[in-house]
Amino acid sequence: MFCEFDACAEPRIYRLVSQDQRSPRDLQKFDWATVSDEEVFVEQLLAAFDLDGAIVIENALSSVEAEAIVEEMRPFIDSTPHGLHGLEKSRRVGALVARSRASHKAIAHRAVLVLCDAALGGQYRFGNEVRIIQRERGQGRYPWRLGLTQIIDVGPSQERQGLHRGNGLWVHNFAGHKLELQIETMWALTDFTEANGATHVVLGSHRWSDVTDSDAERTMTWYEKSSFQTVRATMKAGSVLVWTGWTLHGAGANTTESRRVGMNIDYSLSFLSQEENQFLACPPEIARTLSDDMRRLIGYSQPAGALNYFADCLPPRYALRENYDVTVPGSHGMNSSKDL
């Protein structure tokens, strides 16, 4: 099981490795295709992520696999107007779990899920801790799930996006809580270059005082204009940029005549609302055709006893039964509570 981890499970320990001396302007990149020792790879990945708040995993998919996602989503991209949710020369298209089976390998990519489990489930980053009700600090793991699936198709002459933090979407200011809320990713489905608008990232901005200090007057989640030094996430198709929801980032300007296609997949703590409602984006009649792991990842599970049940105190898996109808009395088929 790689998602919706049991909050009562024992925490895994991830040891951080020492960092080489390097320029703070370098975005650390890791090649999935050359991994020989996964344990060492994960240690290096987590250490870099804790330090910078963003990393790139190269060759996480093949170029053929990236192209297959675009091909499956092409009818939806072409039928969607520009300008939805900002970026007037770009198109945003979601519901990838339901619409693109080819996307599932990226959504459930092992390297990304291991990072999510450490950062969200274990809150491994320096200074963070798991605080589950009626348990000692640091015990157990937080449940987490998929929060957003979205193709972002960026057209020529698209202007640069303002720098922003994804964690602003939940309204409440979680700064100072020492809590990792979400992990965000951008998959390159076509090559990302500086000219076509590769993502700008402000390394280390997840550690700024307006994030870590509970007494900070406010946490900035959007900068229309700024002079912060950024690095560019240039990468080949099939690679993925991963960052924490506290890290400042923003799409670059597309100054070419070609379109840049990326895939934004985010994961968040299960006790927060999903940015994209996965139960509407992938309703029961489609979800029942998915693997158990993918169902759990999109949220068809109960991360805690009184969280995410429906109707007659039923776990979400009941909604996936072929003949279940919420409007029909007794459709659940239970004779006693022991039948759950």
277 Cβ contact list (under 8 Å, min separation 6): none
- For the CA atoms of 66, 68, 74, 76, the dihedral, rounded to the nearest 10 degrees, stands at -90
- Kindly report, residue by residue over 28-76, the tens digit of the pLDDT: 999 999 999 999 999 999 999 999 999 999 999 999 999 999 999 999 9
CA–CA separation, 139 vs 12, rounded Å?
10
Would you call 285 exposed, middle or buried from its count of C-beta atoms within 10 A (0-12, 13-18, 19+)?
exposed
Single-letter code of the amino acid located at 115: L
Q: Are 157 and 89 in contact (CB under 8 A)?
A: yes
pTM over 0.75: yes
- Domains for the chain: give ranges and CATH numbers: 29-285 (2.60.120.620)
% of residues, the chain, pLDDT over 90 = 82
- Kindly report, residue by residue over 254-284, the tens digit of the pLDDT: 999 999 999 999 999 999 999 999 999 999 9
- Kindly report, residue by residue over 84-123, the tens digit of the pLDDT: 988 899 999 999 999 999 999 999 999 999 999 999 999 9
Q: How many CB atoms lie within 10 A of CB 290?
A: 19
